[in-house]
Structure 1
Amino acid sequence: MTELLLQVEGLKKHFPITGGVFSKQVGEVKAVDGLSFSVKKGETLGIVGESGCGKSTTGRLLLQLIEPTEGKVVFEDKDVTSLSNQEIRKLRREMQMVFQDPFASLNPRHTVEKILEEPLIVHGIGTKEERKKKVREILEVVGLSSYHAKRYPHQFSGGQRQRIGIARALMTKPKLIIADEPVSALDVSIQSQVLNLLEDLQNEFQLTYIFISHDLGVVRHISDRVGVMYLGHMVELADSEALYQKPLHPYTEALLSAVPVPDPDFKREQIVLQGDLPSPSNPPAGCPFHSRCGKCMDICKTTRPQFKEVEAGHYVACHLYE
């Protein structure tokens, strides 16, 4: 059995809504509302869903960049949610993140060398000369040259900046990298280059990825397993091929029906979801998807379905399979 690197149990994040003169809490936004999943060493878990479903918040919760309202995140038998700030800081050496916007995530006043050297300084790794040598080596690994170290972020293209972001994540030799929409801000021709780079790095450094994206085509290309999120909930989780060949949840079916296929003769019925995505501050009772689901039953309106295994390795939260 493949060893687990990360386990998530009942993870929740509710942001308070305040109002009035005294800023009293008048409600809460349930950005993440009870996630449970695991990640095996060396695999890539893709997380997909519409904008606002909570996937980026999930990534930040896993790294403790924001504090969860409830739930556990266990990384290599350590409960991350119970650690002190100092212990979390040490743990981040093994858990890194690649952000969506490569320009916003890089300090424009620092050279690439200083940006890449900073994680080593924070974690007390190496001497000054060793750090500079490591910077040059990592730049070569991600497809840039050592002379790029003296340049500033604005002197690079979007694809090159994202390579710098990936290089920064690699500096501390992490075991887990959370990539939050790492190619969505890039030109399509550059996306494939960055995806291929991520796959090469995974093989070279034995990395584990959590790959967050709204693009199902990209996720299929890179992921071993895929989890589908809707309104703060995980509604389906399965091996990549199983999920794309035989989706079980009506929401997943609708998402996949909208994915373009590069074949002009291919005909497929597109499932059009009715209505808008409900507000996470006022989610519907029962199944969170029932207000837009064409297969909605009476039980869906009152009872939330359990997220459980209905086929080998295929998990789904839907009353159709109970």
Structure 2
Amino acid sequence: MSGPLLEVKEVKKYFPIKRGVLSKTVGWIKAVDGVSFQVNKGETLGLVGESGCGKSTTGRLALRLLEPTAGEVLFEGRNIYELAPEQMRQIRRDMQIIFQDPYASLNPRLTVEDILMEPLVIYRMGDGPSRRKRVKELLELVGLSDYHGVRYPHEFSGGQRQRIGIARVLALNPKLIICDEPVSALDVSIQSQVLNLLLELQDRLGLTYIFIAHGLNVVKHVSDRVGVMYLGKIVEIADSDELYLHAKHPYSRALLSAVPVPDPESKPERIILTGDVPSPANPPAGCKFHTRCPQCMEICKVEEPVLRELPGKHMVACHRYS
């Protein structure tokens, strides 16, 4: 690993709340509220958190599939938010995304060969024979056969469709891939196959991943570092083993306590959080987690903690470590 491939700096995304006949803006949903991190070449950064915490929105902002409210994203040192459309079109070859739903992300009217050939046609890579050869290579790369190319998406299982989605992502030889919950719609037995495929492809092709998921055990299996998100912010980020063994933030510890332990005699202590996740349209003052935190102090209610570095490259946003 050498240097950051991607740097996300204080990125925000607010969606307007509109009401009335004139669709007047009456408020903002703060989906992502000042997220910063970097991803080094060849590594996997995992993003975890409850539903609605802003993980997928962060991934889309990193690819500029959404325009930000504020902040910047540097890909190989270039701020992609400042690029003209044609410049952005060229850089998209290096930045791809695997979508969550393998049923909705493939065009049902196209054969698999047409689906995999489409990015090659758009970017004018090769001629007809070389494109068909590339499609065959891609199918073999993800564990499928060349005869699958004449079939349509509805003729495949969920796991096979996700393999096709992965093959399409690889068509342009990208450097960065956002994996937006790529196994959450699959059976558990198929999940492990797809995860192992992603790890194998990373080793063979030198890929860099941002892996977004709910399951902490899944993220631990594939990630070098893990960032924990809560209500649009990263509250903790550290090496995978360090986070799972020595989580600092109360929210991270609560998430880890909910991970099932494959031992019927083990009875780990569960941390039960009270209350509901606050609305991103009206987040609480101070630390966003203080309304549910079992270790809340008075300063937590009025002052928002910053993400600060602890020994061992462990970063946490909590007043108890200030």
| Short-chain TM bin | over 0.9
Q: Which residue of 2 aligns with 1:299?
A: 299
Cα distance in 1 for residues equivalent to 2:90 and 2:278 = 39
Residue aligning to 1:209 = 209
Task: Tell me the secondary structure at the aligned position of residue 93 of structure 2.
Answer: coil
Alignment partner of 1:232 is 2:232? yes
1:54 matched to which residue of 2? 54
Question: Following the alignment from structure 2 to structure 1, what is the Cα–Cα distance between the partners of residues 20 and 209?
Answer: 43
* Deviations 1:100-121 (CA, angstroms, capped at 9, x unpaired): 0011000000111111111111
Give distance in 2, aligned partners of 1:298 and 1:84.
47
Look up the match of 1:169: 169
Deviations 1:148-199 (A, max 9, x none): 0010000000000000000000000000000000000000000000000000
Give the equivalent residue in structure 2 for 1:280. Answer: 280
Distance 1:198 1:230 in 2: 26
Alignment of 1:180-195 (within 5 A): 180-195=180-195
TM-score normalized by the length of structure 1: 0.99
* Deviation for aligned residue 1:312: 2.2
Distance between the aligned counterparts of 1:86 and 1:262, measured in 2? 51
| Structure 1 segment 1-322 matched on structure 2, within 5 A | 2-322=2-322
- TM-score, normalised on structure 2? 0.99
For structure 2, which runs of at least 5 residues remain unmatched after alignment? Answer: none
CA-to-partner distance for each residue in 1:46-67, whole Å, 9 max, x for gaps?
0000000000001111111110
* Superposed CA offset, 1:271-294 (max 9, x none): 000000000000000001000000
> Post-superposition, which runs of at least 4 consecutive aligned residues in structure 1 deviate over 6 A?
none
User: Whole-Å Cα distance in 1 between the matches of residues 122 and 226 of structure 2?
Assistant: 34
RMSD: 0.7
**In structure 1, C-alpha distance between the alignment counterparts of 2:90 and 2:124, rounded to whole Å:** 10
- Structure 2: how far apart are the matches of 1:65 and 1:120? 20
Whole-angstrom distance in 1 between the partners of 2:256 and 2:185: 22
SS in 2 for 1:14: strand
Which secondary structure state, in structure 2, belongs to the residue aligned with residue 271 of structure 1? coil
Instruction: Name the CA distance, whole Å, in 2 between partners of 1:84 and 1:60.
Output: 18
Aligned residues: 322
Provide structure 1 residue ranges, at least 5 long, that are not aligned to the other structure: none
